Amino acid sequence: MIYLDNNATTQVDPRVAEHLQGILSQRLVNPASQHAAGRRARSILEDAREGLLTLCKARTQGMQSDTSIFTSGGTESNNLAICGIAAKRPGILVVSSIEHPSVLATAQRLEQQGRAVRYLACSESGQVDIEPVADWIDRGDQIAMVSLMLANNETGVLQPVGELVRLCKPALIPVHTDAVQALGKVQIDFQALEVDAMTLTAHKLHGPVGIGALLLRHSIKLEPMFFGGFQQQSLRPGTESPFLASSFAFTAQLAVAEEDIRYARMLQCRELLESVLLSRIPGAIVLGANAPRLPHTTSISFPGLDRQLLQLALDREGIACGTGSACASGSSQPSHVLQAMNLPKQVVHGAIRLSLCWETTAEQVLDAAERITRVVHRLASNPHGLRSS
Ligand SMILES: Cc1ncc(COP(=O)(O)O)c(C=O)c1O
């Protein structure tokens, strides 16, 4: 099997597995316990918290230190950021129309509860248009917060978060960014980006599933979503996991240390994959190709084909790929991201997502391109022919 669905989840790095096993074997206890054993667990947990903040270039010293709240993953962090910040601030919630479902569904939920929500549109190239925010600020609309992802999970297109912050900062509007797909692929600099909250998760960069974080600027106020404990300043109560937290920090440390080499490898393989597919399959289109993108993601459409049939046929040929966000897979709904890009229906319906990782080799890419080409040609000549050749 050639695994090209790394944006859904990555396989755990053996070094991370070893690290996790090492900590598990230490038989740690509850990090909130006041005895020596508890303090030992706490020190591992707090080292992980500080490590993650440092790797993301957040402030760890002084009165204005930033915070990292450990969560179960990106979905929870997004929910906490949006519900938590919005609960402290009246006004309109602004999100982009291409966010992950964990942002969009949260916004829709708040909308049902009476919150005004505005959705930022996206261009055909996959970049969100933030201009309306400037107009709304100019005319004095009260905006509670804005949420814009750093990189889109379907197209890989990088979003103008820095520019958005420059618009929002003078008006004291908090900005949250979902950096789930960006962490481990491009440099993350929490301070330089000047966002107020950032969502992260470990399993997109070869860490374990079940641990994420919400980085918070020192000044940001947040309502918790869970109740019943004092852990993590009562913002996310519940017994913390030093095992997972430490593995997350270790995963991020590997990704940052190997950032340049990983980036170069992924980009080279992605370019190879796209160039072979585009040259062999007439009519194929790479979506978002003209915008700055993450180095490992290709959203490619074969207009006229059905993406779900294509995914099934590729699976039979030993290629694992996605058709959109992992949370939406299995649903027959076409991608909300590609629809927001205003692409022709046939393009949206024929698009699959191929997401590489730094371990993907040129040989695998060439092999995958060969198999994809074969399957696309077969389906194009016989759309119902799922039979393996
Ligand atoms: C952009 C983005 N945000 C959030 C999530 C959700 O993260 P998790 O699976 O850790 O809940 C995902 C996962 O697909 C994602 O791609």
The closest of 6, 347, 41, 33 to 154, measured between CA atoms, is 6
Last residue of some domain: 257, 287, 318?
Answer: 257
Q: Which residue has the higher pLDDT, 30 or 324?
A: 30
246 and 276 housed in the same domain? no
215 and 202 housed in the same domain? yes
Largest Cα–Cα distance in the chain? 70
119 and 132 housed in the same domain? yes
pLDDT tens readout for residues 96-131 = 999 999 999 999 999 999 999 999 999 999 999 999
* pTM of the full structure: 0.96
241 and 289 housed in the same domain? no
The closest of 42, 19, 21 to 30, measured between CA atoms, is 42
- Rounded distance, CA 42 to CA 73, Å? 20
The percent of residues in the chain predicted with pLDDT above 70, rounded, is 96
- List the domain range (segments joined by +) for residue 227: 14-257
Q: Is residue 95 part of a domain?
A: yes
306 and 217 housed in the same domain? no
71 and 208 housed in the same domain? yes
53 CA distance to ligand 1 middle (Å): 20
CB-defined site of ligand 1, < 6 Å: 73-75, 78, 100, 102, 149, 153, 178, 180-181, 201, 203, 212, 325-326
46 and 67 housed in the same domain? yes
pLDDT tens readout for residues 227-277 = 999 999 999 999 999 999 999 999 999 999 999 999 999 999 999 999 999
- Rounded distance, CA 298 to CA 295, Å? 9
Q: Whose structure tokens read 């396989």?
A: 11
Last residue of some domain: 225, 257, 289?
Answer: 257
For ligand 1, atom 4, name the residue with the nearest CA.
Answer: 74
249 and 299 housed in the same domain? no
Q: Is 225 exposed, middle or buried (0-12, 13-18, 19+ CB in 10 A)?
A: middle
Question: Which ligand 1 atom sits nearest the alpha carbon of residue 8?
Answer: 14
pLDDT tens readout for residues 165-191 = 999 999 999 999 999 999 999 999 999
Q: Is residue 389 part of a domain?
A: no
Q: Is residue 387 part of a domain?
A: no
Mean pLDDT of the chain: 95
301 and 266 housed in the same domain? yes
Catalytic annotation present for 357: no
Last residue of some domain: 237, 257, 277?
Answer: 257
pLDDT tens readout for residues 53-63 = 999 999 999 98
Answer whether residue 327 shows pLDDT above 50. Answer: no
β-sheet bridge partners, residue 352: 300
Q: Is residue 388 part of a domain?
A: no
253 and 299 housed in the same domain? no
For residue 357, the domain's CATH number is: 3.90.1150.10
- Rounded distance, CA 26 to CA 12, Å? 21
Answer whether residue 4 shows pLDDT above 60. Answer: yes
149 and 207 housed in the same domain? yes
71 and 168 housed in the same domain? yes
85 CA distance to ligand 1 middle (Å): 19
